[in-house]
Amino acid sequence: MQGRVYLVTGGSSGLGRAVAEELARRGATVMVTSRDAGRAAAVAQAIREAGGQADSMALDVRDPSAPRRALEETLARRGALHGALFNSGGPRLGSFFELADEDWLSGLEVTLLGFVRLARAVIPAFTAREDAPAHLLAIVSSSVKEGIDNLTLSNAYRPAIAALVRSLAREVAPRHVLVNAIAPGRFDTERVRELDLAAARRAGVSFEEARNAAIARIPLGRLGRPEELARVAAFLLSPENTYVTGQTVLVDGGMVRGL
Ligand SMILES: NC(=O)c1ccc[n+]([C@@H]2O[C@H](COP(=O)([O-])OP(=O)(O)OC[C@H]3O[C@@H](n4cnc5c(N)ncnc54)[C@H](OP(=O)(O)O)[C@@H]3O)[C@@H](O)[C@H]2O)c1
């Protein structure tokens, strides 16, 4: 990964942070971004303290001009871009009749449209060759394969990203750009804590009971560790990945039963 430069959105915590750190650990330079400049800067600082190379800036994926600004800043500092990770906070929880138009619109912006805007900005600027392709990767969810109760917006928008990844991958393959998605099952992050708390409230049980019920559905018998997803993401984003494109890769400890 030496000499390669990546832009990471939603990189200040959880899965996005783990991917940024893994890319840096493998020798890449990372532009860490999130809505909050301070939180992104803290991750970049931690990467530098661990011997890696990282810059940071604020980037809200709901802001249409943000990807272009981040691209320009990255090119100004590092001279090239070889890959990008799209990540953000998940959409609002809720069952169908709990969601208003505003929820659908904000869910769209933070998921599908955010990815569209990032892809539009970075793909034309990628440095890519046949033997060293550039990579765009989106973090989606196991909801691409199997709907999750109380996550209507994720169930609707994540499969849309997976479908777009497939069609975009075909379109940009001649430019030596590979486009994939990675679908986490249940990893130990703030977001999953929030999901388990909501499930506990809805079922009138304790947080531990809701969490144990969720874990019981995972054949490997535990939540994933963010670095376990990050290792798969780093491969998909690496020059080692010269032939996987248009795919959505599940990393879920065997949780999803469908194909
Ligand atoms: N953890 C899992 O097992 C799991 C499973 C399925 C799907 N997912 C999805 O994977 C993604 C990451 O999950 P996570 O568990 O790592 O969540 P997390 O710990 O809550 O992290 C979310 C990250 O996104 C950033 N963010 C939030 N809104 C943003 C926005 N509008 N623009 C840019 N950055 C934004 C947050 O940083 P700031 O607050 O600093 O902006 C934070 O760095 C989410 O979309 C989640 O729904 C996770």
Q: What is the pLDDT of residue 258?
A: 84
- Specify the number of domains making up the chain: 2
Same structural domain for residues 36 and 136?
Answer: yes
Q: What is the pLDDT of residue 133?
A: 98
Same structural domain for residues 153 and 215?
Answer: no
Low-confidence ranges of the chain (pLDDT < 50): none
Q: What is the pLDDT of residue 259?
A: 82
Q: What is the pLDDT of residue 137?
A: 98
Whether this prediction's pTM lies above 0.95 is answered by yes
Phi, psi dihedrals of residue 57, rounded to the nearest 5°: -165, 170
- For residue 207, the enclosing domain spans 187-223
Same structural domain for residues 159 and 214?
Answer: no
Residue 146 near ligand 1, beta carbon < 6 Å: no
Same structural domain for residues 131 and 233?
Answer: yes
CATH of the domain at 238: 3.40.50.720
154 alpha carbon to ligand 1 midpoint, in Å?
Answer: 12
| CA distance linking residue 99 with residue 87, whole number of Å | 23
Residue 34 near ligand 1, beta carbon < 6 Å: yes
Q: Which of 22, 31, 32, 35 to mutate to test the pocket of ligand 1 (most atoms within 8 A of CB)?
A: 35
Q: What is the pLDDT of residue 17?
A: 98
Residue nearest (by alpha carbon) to ligand 1 atom 33: 60
Atom nearest to 62 CA in ligand 1: 31
Q: What is the pLDDT of residues 75-111, one digit of tens each?
A: 999 999 999 999 999 999 999 999 999 999 999 999 9
Q: Is residue 259 part of a domain?
A: no
Q: Is residue 256 part of a domain?
A: no
Same structural domain for residues 110 and 195?
Answer: no
Same structural domain for residues 43 and 165?
Answer: yes
Same structural domain for residues 40 and 167?
Answer: yes
> Which residues neighbour 201 within 8 Å (Cβ) at sequence distance 6 or greater?
none
12 alpha carbon to ligand 1 midpoint, in Å?
Answer: 9
Q: What is the pLDDT of residue 138?
A: 98
Residue 12 near ligand 1, beta carbon < 6 Å: yes
Same structural domain for residues 109 and 150?
Answer: yes
Q: What is the pLDDT of residues 47-66, one digit of tens each?
A: 999 999 999 999 999 999 99
Same structural domain for residues 157 and 203?
Answer: no
